[in-house]
Structure 1
Amino acid sequence: MRDADLIQPETTRLAALKQLGEAFREVGIETAQRDARLLTLDAAGLTHAQLIQAPRERLGDQAAAKLREHVRRRLTREPVARILGEWEFWSLPFTLAPDVLVPRPDSETVVAAALLALKERRNASDGLRVLDLGTGSGCLLVALLTELKGATGVGVDLAPQAVETARFNAARNGVADRAEFTESDWAQAITGQFDLVVSNPPYIANAVIEGLEPEVKQHDPRLALAGGPDGLDAYRAIAQALPGILAPDGVVALEIGSDQAESVPAIYRAAGYAVEGPFADFGARPRAIVLRRT
């Protein structure tokens, strides 16, 4: 693409930032300047501080070639996280794979809601067992185990590549000795009871997916998006599984769609659970609920 070809070895870092920002804005990318910065930093092997200190340094052959490829991919609306191969969640790094969702900041609401629900037990977390249904990259479970120092956890996913990716991320973030990962269709392969069950299940109605941004519909795994005709299939499956996996005094923290503040809680109230929330995400939208046995 012509915009990518403008990036040459003699292009300065500052000029690259400007050119990329303009190119991304022209195709309607809302995070144009952020994306330009992240891709330039990666291509040049720089920290943000180093970029600020020497903005007029030339890119050089290797960085320019890498940045051109980054730009070509981003202009096709491939997400920056996919291009970089990793993303941050709960201030922790997570390696990505095609079969896992990119961790979203909004999903941190689930972690925060879970920790709040466990506030009475957080400082004495030895023996706590955590289950992450549909673990994906492992971001929810790994983040929780970094906070609950005495807890152990199990992450399950239907996709084998997701299981391997989550296992790698647990090791990368220093909690591999307290985490297990296995293939399972929700909780079918799970035995025993857990003090905390978390999930970011697929919750988008099938018919809605084609109308989503290209970054999502073309690059996120359909298995992690499609929630059935009404977007609620996964919540019903989890409700059926909970009686066998949730400890008597256990809690559940679930991510929900911003339009599901009534429909998802209704499923669990009908199943006999007390519902707390919804808890709002960074955009002040409903994003998580907490469940307890009644």
Structure 2
Amino acid sequence: MFLNKIQKKMSKNFLINGIETHELDARIILKEVLSFNDKDLILNQDFLISKNLINKINSFELRRIKGEPISKIFKKRDFYNSTFIISEDVLDPRPETELIIDIVNDLIKNNHVKNILDLGTGSGCILLSILKEHKTIIGTGIDLSKKAIDIAIKNSRKLSLEKQSNFFISNWLDSINDTYDLIVSNPPYIPSTDIENLPMDVKNFDPILSLDGGSDGLDCYRKIAKDLKRVINKNGVIILEIGYDQAYKVIKIFELLDFILVRKYNDINGLDRVLVFEIKKIKKN
């Protein structure tokens, strides 16, 4: 069968099954199986595909129709100008999370930052994307999942950032003894009762540990906030991703522990997405 016919057929099947990115996903599968790039796909529409490769394409197509994300199928995901290794043990990096990197880059322009702590690092995509942009900064990433830490270490080696980064297991701040100029986190923030209503490609293929934020979705923010002063430097900054409707409650959690909101950022859809805090300064009489 010729490439163009397989591509059209697969894209149509994805569309019928409610996959919004039907054309993109079909192209990605063909590029992976055939070792083609976008240009190759355009210039080789009459390429005759062997039966063996057709079988492989069909198997990937079926997995996608059953809800498995393309990134989980091929164990990789593009995020902020890099390609990261991922697996079923880490959260699939989201485009909206790239906002954290942009905020950090702007912050570093005007502030001296020598080290960064990433809480709930997962694949390491946030921390490693920052370190890739700033070669003099040292970063630490922690996660409760050993398998996630293993993935993060693989990504640090893949991006040649292993000398700049350190990853280890910790239940939030429990095993942290150093202090940091900048702390970032995209913690689990989905209320437990909402997990079942998430899209199939999220609830069935992202680890529950990286999704479930407790009964109101705010458990992890409380755990982070209560011990944060111990590990943040005097003029340190905290940058957190939040759910679209959680800004007010997360701000209150941190304000009660003497942190002040510096700024709230919206994502590309205009929804509350990132909060920036610092320690409240005590005025001297």
The match for 1:137 among 88, 105, 123 is 123
Q: Shift in Å at residue 25 of structure 1?
A: 1.2
Identity of aligned residues (%): 34
- Find the residue that maps to 1:219 and give its secondary structure: coil
Structure 1 residue 51 displacement after superposition? 0.9
Alignment of 1:1-294 (within 5 A): 10=1, 12-121=2-111, 128-294=114-280
Q: Secondary structure at the match of 1:101?
A: coil
* 1:111–1:144 CA contact under 8 A, matched in 2: yes
What's the counterpart of residue 283 of structure 2?
Answer: none
**TM-score, length of structure 2 as denominator length:** 0.95
Q: How many residues align?
A: 280
RMSD of aligned alpha carbons: 1.2
One-letter code of the match for 2:174?
Q
| Alpha-carbon separation, structure 2, partners of 1:188 and 1:101 | 22
TM-score by length of 1: 0.92
Unaligned runs of 5+ in 1: 1-9
Q: Greater relative contact order (Cα 8 A, min sep 6): structure 1 or 2? A: 1
AA of the residue aligned to 1:144: I
What amino acid does structure 2 have at the position aligned with 1:209? I
* In 2, Cα distance between equivalents of 1:286 and 1:59: 47
Stretches of structure 2 that go unaligned for 5 or more consecutive residues are 281-285
Q: For residue 251 of structure 2, what is the amino acid of its counterpart?
A: P
**Deviation per CA, 1:89-132, whole angstroms, max 9, x where unpaired?**
111010012210111111101111222233213xx65xx11101
Q: Is the Cα–Cα contact under 8 Å of residues 194 and 247 in structure 1 kept in the other structure?
A: yes
- Give the C-alpha shift of residue 148 in structure 1: 1.5
How many Å separate the matches in 2 of 1:97 and 1:241?
30
Please, which moves more after superposition, 12-21 or 249-258?
12-21
Which residue identity lines up with residue 237 of structure 1 in the other structure? K
1:278 deviates by 2.1
1:154 and 1:227 mapped to 2: Cα distance? 23
Structure 1 letter corresponding to 2:4: L
Name whichever of 273-282 and 166-175 sits farther off. 273-282
Matched to 1:150, the amino acid is T
Residue 110 of structure 1 aligns to a residue whose secondary structure is: helix
Say if 1:207 and 1:229, in contact at 8 Å, map to a contact too: yes
